[in-house]
Amino acid sequence: MGEDVEKLKQRLSLLDYLRQQNWVARPASHGAEFVGLCPLHPETRPSFYVNARKNLFYCHGCGQGGDLLRFVQLSRHLSFRQSLAYLDQQSALTADPAAILEQAATFYQEQLERYPEALRYLEQRGLHDPALIKELRIGYAPGGSLRRHLTAQGYSFDLLQRLGLLNSQGHDAFYRRVIFPCCQGGRVVNLYGRSIAAAFAHRFLSGSKGGLYAWEQVQNCPEVILVEGLFDYAVLWQAGFRHVTCSLGTHLNADQFQQLCDRPRTVYLTFDVDANDSGQQASQQLALRLRAQGIVTRHVLLPDGHDPNSFFVQGGDAEQFQALLEAAPP
């Protein structure tokens, strides 16, 4: 019980909870202390202090003090167990999906070094720079362990299932997949799992994939290389092309399209040259839409059957890719 209470307190901030209850406060010092009117008794002069760092309150007017659980007991006239149940419910309702996805991404990142098959797969896909792998926060989902990890942090099965981290049977949604976190505005908005075994499909979690991958790093660039896949992105970044971004597929969502059109620039469309020509057809359609918005486009002509990832895996180098960029027609 004591361990469960501590985990609950870590997930719910006393100050955030009070603000949700419309408590108005001002900083009481240069530290993490705030003061306002006491919610527990009528008063006209603020005497209710909250230490945000310690997650504790004390009122000099009524003499009451304690932690979040104690405040709920006093304010809602509940028993200890009733307060615990109430806060557990509140935690599920107010849980920040990005914070949970962040914990999942960190957990997967920690697993990568423990599984040689995942490192071998990255090597086969041309990723061999440990600094790059760390910078992109690439991880590995062995399966069967994320549920235990997150439920131990106090997150409920239902919540994890709603986020798509668990499937309908309650098992980890990602199994034997290399994981790329997809971020927007510094927050994890989705996870992409690339299967290292042919039996499992590549997949995102349900919900939005967000904007263009790592857009914040290139949004001010006058020239941008646009690729389809995250391994395409990774090998180009590793080769020194830092003005690259990824659409996470051939069809851009509205946010991604607006990002490319937010200022005058040249976009180097570097989609797959596949047998069914789907990548090049999507590239041509996108070029028409971009040019209608005043964006200059160039089609990077990779060898037949190649994408940027396979181009580098099969012997291509940065100098040869730069030549392709320079030769790219409108």
Question: What pLDDT does 93 receive?
Answer: 59
Q: DSSP E strands: which ranges in 145-247?
A: 177-184, 187-195, 203-204, 223-227, 244-246
pLDDT at 54: 85
Residue 309 CB contacts under 8 Å (≥ 6 apart), including other chains: 125, 126, 229, 231, 232, 234, 235
pLDDT (0 to 100) of residue 199: 61
- Which residues lie across from 59 on neighbouring strands? 48
Predicted local confidence at residue 321, as pLDDT: 97
Report, as an integer, the average pLDDT of 248-258: 93
Over 90: is that where the pLDDT of 172 sits?
Answer: yes
pLDDT of residue 201: 76
List the one residue out of 242, 237, 235, 238 whose CA is nearest residue 220: 242
Q: What is the pLDDT of residue 243?
A: 96
Q: What does pTM read for this prediction? A: 0.74
Count how many Cα atoms sit within 13 Å of the Cα of residue 20 in the half-sphere of its side chain: 13
Task: Give the CA-trace dihedral at 105, 201, 143, 8, to 10 degrees.
Answer: 40
Torsion angle (degrees, nearest 10) of CA 60, 63, 67, 73:
-130
pLDDT exceeds cutoff 60 at 297:
yes
Statement: residue 282 has pLDDT above 60? yes
Q: Within 10 Å of residue 59's Cβ, how many Cβ atoms?
A: 21
pLDDT digits (tens, 9 = 90+) for 17-64: 888 788 988 888 756 788 999 999 999 999 999 988 788 999 999 999
Structure confidence by residue, pLDDT tens digits, 123-151: 999 999 999 999 999 999 999 899 988 87
pLDDT band for position 229 (cuts 50, 70, 90): very high
CA distances from 114 to 118, 231, 296, 325 (A): 9, 21, 45, 38
- Residue 211 is predicted with a pLDDT of 94
Instruction: Say if residue 94's pLDDT is above 70.
Output: no
Q: What is the pLDDT of residue 308?
A: 95
pLDDT for 31: 63
